[in-house]
Copies of this chain bind each other. A is one copy, B any other.
Amino acid sequence: MKLIVDLKDKSYPIIIQRNSLTHITDTINVDRKVMLIADSGVPDKWIDIVYNQCPDAYIIRFNQGEQSKNIDTYAYLLQACIDKGMTRKDAIIAIGGGVTGDLSGFVAACYMRGIDFYNIPTTTLAQVDSSVGGKVAIDMGDYKNIVGAFWQPKAVVIDNNVLSTLPLRHQHNGLVEALKMGLILEESLIEEFEKDELNIDQIVYRSIDLKRQIVEQDEKENNLRKILNFGHTIGHAIEGAYGLNTYLHGECVAMGMLFFIEDKHLKMRIQKIYERLELPSIPAYDTDTLLNFIMHDKKGAASSVSIIKVKKAGSYEIVDMSYEDIRNVLERGPYEE
């Protein structure tokens, strides 16, 4: 399966195909220097499959985890490009999850003012979320993705054979972002989660196809692209309060979405899917703590926050909510009485 993200002179293909990793040269021009960037959590076998197809490649790795997504790792990867004599005509390939893609993409965006970038996402989360859309970045201190660029990849290669080495919890974590796409845009994608067999390839494909359409309409996140933040306002606050060692990103988004699904029947449907995906239930949070994280996230710049709500499966509303409104939502809790 193949999708084309149509961004005029920055258009690129997304290949979603089992075994595509074994013939990347169909998609990636490797007749030049290639820097393969991977985090320490990616099994060697996937990297080696790619490496062995590149006549002039280097492998560079960094420590797995969000805490590596900083300016020091960025400088370290840039220095590696210099040391290997990479030129403007060479390429970077990221192999890994969202942190790897975001970091490598930002290195590619800046090295010699921008070189070719390819992404091979190896987690469902990176596949359905960060690998599509060209948002690359690093964190500074507490501020996630505060420094970055819009730098579209030249191609994205998704081979779900790589999921054989990804723990089930991490597979499900990424599927939450796919479910989110169904909730705001297309009910039949929600139904994929209700079938007897969970067809991950199909879910990934359909969810990327929806994201592709959003990105095509709003590449630089001026407007429409904001709807992808559904569930993220409270989700990020839970992530901040409990840390990514407790909950994964998708798990927090799942919790965050529940607060703003404003239809009793739909909420029950979604909770059933959460059970199937074995997502953790929402902890007994402290309202003030979460509210502080939300205000910190917005840097106190605005007196209200743009919130995405879903009242009917496959549709969304954007509403401005004051911090007081959000406090009420948090105090009421995510579940129906």
Instruction: Spell out A's residues near B (CB within 8 Å).
Output: 71, 75, 78-79, 82, 85, 87, 109-114, 135, 137, 140-141, 143, 145-150, 220, 299-301
Contacts and interface: CB of A to CB of B under 8 A. Distances in A.
Copies in the complex: 2
A220 B137 CA distance: 22
A301 B87 contact: yes
30 contacts: A71-B71, A71-B75, A75-B140, A78-B140, A78-B146, A78-B147, A79-B140, A79-B141, A82-B140, A82-B141, A82-B143, A85-B300, A87-B299, A110-B147, A110-B148, A110-B149, A111-B146, A111-B147, A112-B147, A112-B148, A113-B135, A113-B137, A113-B145, A113-B148, A113-B149, A113-B150, A113-B220, A114-B149, A114-B150, A149-B149
Contact of A109 (B75, B143, B145, B149): B149
A35 to B, nearest CB: 14
Contacts of A111: 146-147
A37 to B, nearest CB: 16
A111 B143 CA distance: 11
A105 to B, nearest CB: 11
Contacts of A71: 71, 75
